Chains A and B, each alone.
Chain A
Amino acid sequence: MKFSYYPGCSLHSTAAEFSASTEAIFKFLGVKLQELDDWCCCGATSGHSINNFLSHALPLYNLILAENNGSDIVVPCAACYSSLKSAQVFMKSNNSKVTKLNNHLKVTMGRTYQGQINVYHVLEILNNPQIQDLLKKHISKNFNGIPLASYYGCLLNRPPKAVSFEDNPEQPKLMDKLLNQVGATPVVWPHKNECCGASLAISQPKIVEQLVAKIIGSAKHAGAKAIVTACPLCQTNLDSRQPQDTDSLPVFFITEIIGLALGINSLSWLKKHLIDPIPF
């Protein structure tokens, strides 16, 4: 199995451990990830908020790089995943700007967007039947029933028409399935899909602190000993803006949990967390 790999900006900085753990587990499982050469930012929330052109042009730049390679793309970041998928939906629409944008892409990249490749999130690949067989074969560590809260946040399931890969976007469960496979107990909790406040963390930190406090409170109420996520911004917000007056919950990336279960040395990833997960 071989994919183009689009890490996105966060995975080269604030969420470097998400990239390192993703690359490590896929290498272990024999899946080849080839980082897209010279990828650019997807535009993220700021793109679609104030600049429609960039919100389409930036993801398409990367999609065309991948089409040039001929391999489907794997994306760990929920926001990048959403940007790339939304750009694909836009290019399928009847919007008059589609042709104009494609003409400009031809001038820029030497080729138009063809819609030939698929964009997958890491969770989708981990649930691919072939990968599932490999996981079953290689999981060597058991989490001994420890209760964990799988936290999806927003952009892996919404807007469902563009992005969701779950049977029910309101009740996603692929991450819970993975937690079961490593011997942990996924808790049932109501804040699995609630928003952490995303990029408002910098411009409106008080709003984000309130949203994070609700999510952390809910996970604790359900008995979780840690939170597991698949989005760099969710992890950063939950790791950095938890209420100070209570026992903190460590916040893992799902790829770190899988890495631990496969017996991969994960110390360098876990040392990057703000809330120390190592005694966990």
Chain B
Amino acid sequence: MAGKQVIPSSKLISSVAKKSSQPINRCYQCHKCTGGCPVTFAMDIMPHQVVRYVQLGLEEKLLESKTIWQCTACHTCGSRCPNGIDIAAINDALKQQAITNNVKPALPEVRTFHEAFLASVKNNGRVHELGMMLAFKRKTGTYLQDVSLGLKMFRRNKLRLLPKKIKNRKRFHTLLQGEKEG
């Protein structure tokens, strides 16, 4: 950002504030969030910068960042913020905005994981961990990652071969229809 003039835009903050229900304008950049965040060592935009960038309307930078996908939603930032801003909730709103805008995620594996997880829930009513893992591996090509760990868990009966589906499929399907009705 150094040396480049930024013309602030309020377009992003209104949509993110609405989606995340966070009082983003209250931030006075004390950096307490960044001080406590456990994942800053890997992030490209620090948590306090996320809030500032939202205020300034730097949508592209945020949606293309690694940070929004690396946030573990541990809520350390939100618990300690003197202004009651939960950045994990802001990161969720930004992830969803990135998907809506069709922005290629900086860490596609994270998005693929969430999609595989929810696809498993929609199919079975519950997560079938083995099926979800295989779908994740198929989509990301990470076939060799964690194979020995998977086998250890399988030997200890920690991974079910087949999903345990919920019984009342019709009721659950009706629940899912609510998403389309918006």
> Are A and B bound to each other?
yes
Chain A interface residues (CB < 8 Å from chain B): 9-10, 12-16, 38-41, 43-54, 57-58, 61, 93, 95, 101, 104-105, 107-109, 154-155, 157-160, 169-170, 193-195, 197-200, 202-205, 207, 210-211, 240, 271-274
Tally of B interface residues using CB under 8 Å? 58
Q: Bound complex: CA of A214 vs CA of B91, how far in Å?
A: 24
Interchain Cβ contacts under 8 Å between A and B, 7 examples: A9-B129, A40-B126, A46-B113, A57-B178, A154-B73, A202-B133, A203-B112
Q: Bound complex: CA of A169 vs CA of B36, how far in Å?
A: 14
Chain A residues within an 8 Å CB radius of B30: none
Chain A residues within an 8 Å CB radius of B157: 16, 272
Given contacts A195-B38, A272-B158, contact A41 B175 (CB under 8 A): no
Beyond contacts A101-B178, A157-B79, A158-B75: 13 other A-B pairs, Cβ-Cβ < 8 A, are A12-B164, A39-B166, A44-B127, A46-B118, A52-B92, A154-B72, A197-B38, A199-B117, A200-B110, A202-B113, A203-B112, A207-B70, A240-B152
Q: Bound complex: CA of A54 vs CA of B160, how far in Å?
A: 24
Would you call B64 an interface residue if the criterion is a C-beta within 8 Å of the partner chain's C-beta atoms?
Answer: no
Q: Bound complex: CA of A40 vs CA of B122, how far in Å?
A: 10
- Contact B41–A210 (Cβ < 8 Å): yes
B47 to chain A, nearest CB (A): 13
Chain B residues within an 8 Å CB radius of A44: 117, 127
- Contact A200–B178 (Cβ < 8 Å): no
Would you call B2 an interface residue if the criterion is a C-beta within 8 Å of the partner chain's C-beta atoms?
Answer: no
Chain B residues within an 8 Å CB radius of A52: 19, 92, 96
Would you call B181 an interface residue if the criterion is a C-beta within 8 Å of the partner chain's C-beta atoms?
Answer: yes
B window 29-74: CB within 8 A of A: 38-39, 41-42, 70, 72-74
- Contact A203–B73 (Cβ < 8 Å): no
- Contact B107–A204 (Cβ < 8 Å): yes
- Contact A46–B178 (Cβ < 8 Å): no
- Contact A204–B153 (Cβ < 8 Å): no
Given contacts A207-B39, A271-B156, contact A57 B175 (CB under 8 A): yes
Q: Among the listed A38, A202, A203, which residue makes an inter-chain contact with B166, where contact means beta carbons less than 8 Å apart?
A: A38
B177 to chain A, nearest CB (A): 8
- Contact A108–B171 (Cβ < 8 Å): yes
Chain A residues within an 8 Å CB radius of B166: 38-40
- Contact A194–B38 (Cβ < 8 Å): yes
- Contact A205–B145 (Cβ < 8 Å): yes
A143 to chain B, nearest CB (A): 25
B window 147-177: CB within 8 A of A: 149, 152-153, 156-160, 164, 166-168, 171-172, 174-176
Q: Among the listed A14, A109, A193, which residue makes an inter-chain contact with B159, where contact means beta carbons less than 8 Å apart?
A: A14
